Structure 1
Amino acid sequence: MKNSRKHLRAHIANFVSVFLVFALGFVAALPESVQAQPHDTLLAAVDAVRAPGPNFGFEIDVTVPDGNKFSMNVLVKDQSKSLVRYVKPVTAEGRALLFVERNMWVYVPGTQRSLRISPQQQVLGGLASADIARVVFSLDYTLDKVIVQPDGRRLLTLTGVEGAASYARIDLLIEGKTPNPLSAVFYSASERKVKTAYFEAYSEVLGRQRPTVFRVVNHIDGDRETLMRYSNFVLKTTPDGWFQPAQLKRLQ
């Protein structure tokens, strides 16, 4: 049993990869202007840029630092749930990851049940699973300060909610007259800069401009990069039963 569990965790480390930055906590789109918005409204507006609504699906292609590539289908339900199913490569096909509120499970074909893992667990690229599965700032972080830069862009200082966030602080840079995110710098509790993420390739997606590429530079691992490309967004409502740990095996 001990060796089996160790083997399963090895699978998790290899396949719970960077897949889902947009996947959870999505809210309906808010007005483009961020002038004179309260902090909570501004942070919600930033989250809304990355998602078309509370219920939708999309596809993602991920290239990790060692050059390996993964393809996944993602379903989002009621803002706070997501289901990720691996499509490629063949060796990863059938694996699934479920995130409900702040709880996460992984399923690997051939095992008897889904295994619960910590949202703070480190995965490929040196990223915590919670940050990958849901960098949804308004659920796990509070906006403490907004600084207007000389060029008009805004620097938002976010503080992590204890027990929920994987990083102590995020410095989030957004555009001046819109809530479009440009980059985010993530810090540990010791104020160490852990990673920098860039929101790129803005395109028209379901009614507004949204980033379709997310590039992450891992400063703990020699500034190696992970690249995520998002496509085929569609509004859809997925049955509630799909978001149950016991169902992951049956969804294959």
Structure 2
Amino acid sequence: MRSPIMRSPWPFIMILAIITIGSLRADEAPELAVLDSARTGEGNVRVDTLIEVRENGELVRSSEYDVYVGTDRRSLALVRSGREAGQKILMLDDQFWLFLPSSQRPIRITPMQKMLGEASIGDIASLRWQEDYRVVERVPQADDQLMLTLEAARAGLSYQRVELTVRAGDFAPLSARFFLTSGKLAKTADFHLDESGPELVVTGLSLTDEVMGEEVTRIEYREVASVEIPERWFSPAFLARNRLD
């Protein structure tokens, strides 16, 4: 007597996933909620950030930042080391300013301006994607993964489209592809996860650009702590006149 044929459950899983995903509205984004929670959580926080640029595996440049993330799309990055030590970068919604230690006049900049390696201003300051993007498409992938197409909620964001790959089971972020308004691929990212504790933690990401060859920029979130951020820290006039040591 022949053994019964064991059919692969994958087609059924695919159908079930499509039905489940299709029931979500485009503006509902539990996947982005997972990413934001695992990276910064809610409320006002300070993110102790290290950026390293490596070429062929060798460290060529690094810099440290204190990034203060507030509510309502406000953040302030203080450069703590490297050639730009003492600089301040303020983000208020889609407006960005650079403050130099030697000047009391703020400089208007764009989120695409490079900070170090492939890390731009927007990569460091914009850490809560629920405020920035909406999910317009979800496509199941092999290996229990899900690919999301994100569209920018506003024209002023660094990337107008992002392809975010997450685990289908728990929405843990795995990788992302960032596209410019022109449709050109700007860079790719791989997320670094810590799953040793009771909660998922995004500890950083590695950025690469095909044009840059063997150069990899790693953004590491070394510590995230809840803090009280003085309201005056989000004032361009105050930052232009005062040091934040």
TM range (shorter): 0.7 to 0.9
Q: CA deviation at 1:155?
A: 0.5
**Does structure 2 retain, via aligned residues, the 8 Å contact 1:55–1:77?**
yes
2:68 to 72, 75, 100: 75
Q: CA deviation at 1:154?
A: 0.9
Residue in 1 that maps onto 2:135: 143
Normalised to the residue count of structure 1, the TM-score between the two structures is 0.76
The one-character-per-residue Cα deviations of 1:92-141 (angstroms, maximum 9, x if unpaired) are: 32111111111111111111222121223355435543244215433332
Residue in 2 that maps onto 1:57: 46
Residue in 2 that maps onto 1:133: 125
Q: CA deviation at 1:38?
A: 4.3
What is the distance in 2 between the residues matched to 1:124 and 1:69?
8
Does 1:198 find its partner at 2:190? yes
1:44 to 21, 33, 51: 33
Does 1:102 find its partner at 2:94? yes
Does 1:246 find its partner at 2:237? yes
Does 1:153 find its partner at 2:142? no
What is the distance in 1 between the residues matched to 2:120 and 2:131?
16
Instruction: Report the number of matched residues.
Output: 217
In structure 1, stretches of 5+ residues that fail to align are 1-33
Q: What percentage of aligned pairs have identical amino acids?
A: 26
The amino acid of 2:101's aligned partner reads: P
**Does structure 1 retain, via aligned residues, the 8 Å contact 2:75–2:90?**
yes
The amino acid of 1:208's aligned partner reads: E
The amino acid of 1:63's aligned partner reads: E
Does 1:85 find its partner at 2:78? yes
What is the distance in 2 between the residues matched to 1:56 and 1:204?
22
What is the distance in 1 between the residues matched to 2:213 and 2:162?
20
What is the distance in 2 between the residues matched to 1:237 and 1:130?
23
**Does structure 2 retain, via aligned residues, the 8 Å contact 1:125–1:218?**
no
**Does structure 2 retain, via aligned residues, the 8 Å contact 1:73–1:85?**
yes
2:204 to 183, 195, 213: 213
**Does structure 2 retain, via aligned residues, the 8 Å contact 1:199–1:213?**
yes
Q: 1:198 to 1:186 in 2, by over 3 A?
A: same
What is the distance in 2 between the residues matched to 1:144 and 1:223?
33
In structure 2, stretches of 5+ residues that fail to align are 1-19
**Does structure 1 retain, via aligned residues, the 8 Å contact 2:67–2:125?**
no
**Does structure 1 retain, via aligned residues, the 8 Å contact 2:192–2:205?**
yes
Does 1:234 find its partner at 2:234? no
SS in 2 for 1:44: helix
**Does structure 1 retain, via aligned residues, the 8 Å contact 2:119–2:217?**
no
The amino acid of 1:48's aligned partner reads: S
Residue in 2 that maps onto 1:172: 164
Does 1:119 find its partner at 2:111? yes
Q: CA deviation at 1:64?
A: 2.5
What is the distance in 2 between the residues matched to 1:108 and 1:50?
28
What is the distance in 1 between the residues matched to 2:214 and 2:128?
23
What is the distance in 2 between the residues matched to 1:86 and 1:121?
15
The amino acid of 1:230's aligned partner reads: Y
What is the distance in 1 between the residues matched to 2:196 and 2:72?
21
SS in 2 for 1:138: helix
Does 1:224 find its partner at 2:224? no
